[in-house]
Structure 1
Amino acid sequence: MRPSTGSPGALQSVIADQLDLSGLEGETLLVVACSGGTDSVALAHAVGVRRSLVIAHIDHGLREASSRREECRCVDRLGEILSVPVLRRTVPPGEIAGRAGEAGRSLEEVARDERYRLLLDILGQIAEERGVNPVLLTAHHRQDQLETFVMRAFSGRSPLGALGIPRERWLSGPRGERLPRFRVLRPLLECPRRDLVAYVRHQKLPCVHDPTNDDLHHLRNRVRLRALPLLEELFSPSDLSLRVSSFLGELDLLREGLRALIPHDAWGDFGTDRWSLDTGVFHALPRAARELVLRDAVYRLASGDRVSFRPFQRLVAGEGPVESAGLVASFRKGRLEIRQAVVRPVSIGYLWVVDTELRLRLVCEGVSAIRIGEEPAARGGWHLGPVVPPVVVRPRRRGDRVLHRGKKREVARLLEAPEVSSLIRGCAPVVEDREGVLALLGRGDPLCIRDGVRYTRDTHARPPGFITLGVAYEEAENYAERE
């Protein structure tokens, strides 16, 4: 039987019990992601009255300036009440909406990705400054679990994948970044939202209402405001969420049991950038076991945490090849192989892949002729990001465009600016990631960078999600004489 969280003391005790069950030591530094809304305010206070913590606040830049200021004041006030620090990251207004439109993704999805990227940045700052690995707490509760289940179950998600919100996960940066992984816990998953609302009222805590939670353009809001009330007419709200929570727990047990039955040699062999398994061993497994093995390989090799397994379902049936999520999978020479689709640096062409750091020497032999090679000297460098790997340095192509100052602009036009020399105009390479052109490499600073991307001199520590580039231009003697 689940413990009641109906009183303030009970909620604090239940959260403390959940943290104990997670194996946290008493001195572990906790960071609570707080938006200023009821749920995260209740979590931060219920944790903060019993142990020290840091509040992490992300201003997504999605609302009116007055609403955003009110949200910041609310979070700051909560920090004062608990006598704990508040660390904040701010997204420029309109940036997330513009990025969603350019990429053809939902505003909710892009905002979520940016939120976790910035939370990772805060965790990295704390780890560097305090010399400890903090644990992040988020305020997902029982109704969030129900909404997530409905969305995923009716979108065709496989029961062998996650149909609900896991109690914990690991948060890490893009593949190739030498960053620590941070643990994320959700201690409120068994708590109904009404108890969180009652807690905030009883404690007279500051909180704000986010009007985007009422916007029916977002799928989660349509599920919460339209679909769930229909289900709750048939089942009581508490019974419904409890049944879904119980069902998800049983699914977890089934998956764990199936994983335990898979032979050790059937999990395949991992290298630094690939995985492989004998096709005979793979096809001898039951279909559900084949899917679990593939999921394990894909999620361990793919970059980021938003990876769709759906394209790789073809491999379960013995079909291929498949190319998705920065991976290439195929059956070849008696083995099923999945490898990261990253090209190694070559200078014929030219194409150089940037893992985390690359220093180049560019020798211009004419208005558009260039030789490129690695530059061992660490000079003239800067950090650029955030990036979406893989990142490459390549020649400029006709039709290259970059999102710059709110518009998609032709790179060739940007190079026509009078302050750009003919040498740089002809030779400036392009830095590109999975989302398109990141920047143009100039003699010193970047000539232009994509909206939402920043750069800083490499005299500072490289921020999470950034790459380090160093560029040294040279002119071949005969070219300098002609000019």
Structure 2
Amino acid sequence: MLVHFLQQQSATRFLIAFSGGLDSHVLLHLSATLRATYPQWHFRAIHIDHGLQPASAAWAAHCRAVCEVLAMPVVNVALHLQIPSGASLEAEARQARYAAFAQHLQPGEMLLTAHHQDDQAETLLLHLLRGSGVDGLAAMPAVRAFAQGWLGRPLLTCSRADLAAYAYQHGLNYLQDPSNADTRFDRNFLRHQVMPLLQQRWPAVTATFARAARLQGESRQLLHESLQEKLPHYQGSRPGTLAVSQLRTASLALQAALLRVWLVNAGFQLPPAKKLGSVLHDVLLATADAMPCVHWAGCEIRRYRDDLYALPPLVAHDSTQIYGWDTQQPLVLPSVGVTLVPEMLGAWLPIVRDSGSAVTVRFRQGGEIMQLPYRGGSHSLKHLLQEAGIPPWQRECLPLIYVGERLVNIVGVLQVNP
């Protein structure tokens, strides 16, 4: 089962998420037994100590000892989490755990987790109870892209009983987290209260739910492929944008689906249903001169003219900054994440170096003008930026290169020659 899974992967290096519990201990032990037969595969483990249980330090020591016996390299990470008031402990711990995994995963390496068939069934039920669509009901994919590599779940076809039998057969001394019995947590409630009741009536319910999740995953894949083919037809006038007028020709269901795949492609977290509804109704239906914004964790949807933008949240920028530039080396502008290179000065570079003229980099204050001899006379910066279709929220962050007091380059927009 594990061999078959690993043979299907392009990765040859694997990072095992090892909590010390039954599931991950079985995965760790299975992986360790494969090394002699399959020397092309390289395994190491990572243990995350969330710092949420009094015994967590002892658990970390136990995991180190297990890995030492198996000659398995291991990384121990202590998080010392502080859960904000009112936040979900499960969600916060999971987010921090996967952030740690991402930080330690090497390029081209696959993170292996020990999720199994019962976990898959519980995940399907949780998403169903939250009113999820096909993405949620597909539950956990066997493989997906993650950080600089992939995340793999090789045990999804195994039941919890299968893993327990393996652990008993090999005498595995695994940890038991008492929080796993706390039915205040949704997953534990399903595991200990709901699933046993369902199994009394439908003994194969776990396998049935897992199969339903797999079929939903196939539907999701087909839908994703179809949407990826459609998405270019809705491309806006600027890279990475969508055309509002084109989107509005589609049905609401297709609009929502296109927005989701567009956001996923751009690396953003999908919005809650209410936020997505705000994009559909408040942003797409706004007047052309409006500049609405809908935001959620890590993302903002903004509109300018007919283009729809997905952006990280804007950060405060001090537009009064002025940088002197000797043009002998690149100039880093940390506040806007831009590095200028001398070649950006074009034909001005030899003139500057011969004459010793001062070169400064500034930002828009208002009232700036640019001399454009080929168009006759001077033109306001405001008009030039509007003409170039630069959204208002980007205008204050555009570096302006001056030779003496003459504006010669609006970086990324327009440059004038001597």
Instruction: Determine if the TM-score, normalized by the shorter chain, exceeds 0.5.
Output: yes
Q: Quick check: 1:345–1:353 contact (8 Å CA) kept in 2?
A: no
2:100 aligned partner, one-letter code:
L
CA-to-partner distance for each residue in 1:178-199, whole Å, 9 max, x for gaps? Answer: xxx2211111111101111111
| CA displacement at 1:115 relative to structure 2 | 1.1
- 24, 30, 44: which one pairs with 2:10? 24
Question: Identity over the aligned pairs, expressed in percent?
Answer: 25
Q: Which of the numbers 102, 106, 112 marks the counterpart of 2:94?
A: 112
How far apart are 1:107 and its partner, in Å? 0.9
- Which residue matches 2:22? 38
Partner of 2:370: none
Q: 2:171 aligns with which of 174, 186, 204?
A: 204
Instruction: Work out the CA distance in 2 between the residues paired with 1:270 and 1:206.
Output: 60
Partner AA of 1:253 in structure 2: E
C-alpha displacement at 1:302, in angstroms?
A: 5.3
1:171 aligned onto 2:146: yes
What stretches of structure 1 of length at least 5 have no aligned partner? 1-13, 173-180, 359-375, 377-483
Alpha-carbon spacing, 1:270–1:79, altered in 2? closer, same or farther (3 Å): farther
Select which of 78, 81, 85 maps to 2:73. 85
Pairs aligned (count): 313
Radius of gyration: which is bigger? 2
**1:228 equivalent in alignment to 2:212:** no
Classify 1:233/1:162 alpha carbon distance in 2 versus 1 (closer, same or farther; 3 Å): closer
Structure 2 CA distance, aligned partners of 1:299 and 1:164? 17
Question: Cα 1:114–1:213, aligned 2, differ >3 Å: closer, same or farther?
Answer: same
Amino acid at match of 1:164: A
In the alignment, does 2:56 pair up with 1:68? yes
Listed as ranges, the matches of 1:412-423 within 5 Å are none
Alignment match, 2:261: 296
Q: Deviations over 1:26-67 (max 9, x none)?
A: xx1111000000000000111121133111001111111xx3
Matched, 1:346 2:336: no
Contact 1:295 1:309 in 2 (8 A): no
Please give the alpha-carbon distance, in whole angstroms, between the structure 2 residues aligned to 1:220 and 1:165.
15
Picking from 310, 321, 337, the partner of 2:273 is 310
Identify the residue that residue 159 of structure 1 maps to in structure 2.
134
Distance 1:49 1:33 in 2: 17
Q: 1:113 to 1:258 in 2, by over 3 A?
A: closer
1:113 Cα deviation from its structure 2 partner: 1.3
Name the SS of the counterpart of 2:111 in structure 1: strand
CA positional deviation for 1:353 = 7.7
TM-score (norm 2): 0.67
- Of 46, 49, 61, 1:56 maps to 46
With over 3 angstroms needed to count, the CA separation of the structure-2 counterparts of 1:83 and 1:166, relative to structure 1, is same
**Could you tell me which residue of structure 1 aligns to residue 282 of structure 2?**
319
Of the three residues 147, 152, 165, the one matched with 2:122 is 147
Q: How does 1:282-293 map to 2 (within 5 A)?
A: 282-293=247-258
Equivalence for 1:459: none
Partner of 1:4: none
Cα distance, 1:281–1:269 mapped onto 2, change above 3 Å = closer
1:141-172 deviation line (CA, Å, top 9, x unaligned):
11111111111111111224554112223333
Gaps of 5+ in 2: 36-41, 284-291, 322-332, 340-360, 362-418
Distance 2:44 2:200 in 1: 41
- Relative contact order, CA 8 A, sep 6+: which one is greater? 1
Contact preservation (8 Å) 1:258, 1:289: no
Give the SS at the match of 1:146. helix
Aligned to 1:363: none
Question: What is the CA distance between 1:342 and its match in structure 2?
Answer: 1.7
Report if the CA contact (8 A) 2:49-2:57 is conserved.
no
| Matched letter for residue 33 of structure 1 | A
**Counterpart Cα distance in 2 of 1:354 and 1:63:** 40
Q: Secondary structure at the match of 1:284?
A: coil
Contact 2:120 2:213 in 1 (8 A): no
RMSD of Structure 2 on Structure 1 (CA): 3.0
1:340 Cα deviation after fit: 2.9
Q: 1:385 aligns to what?
A: none
* TM-score normalised per structure 1: 0.58
- Seen in structure 2, the aligned counterparts of structure 1 residues 356 and 82 have a Cα distance that, compared at 3 Å, is farther
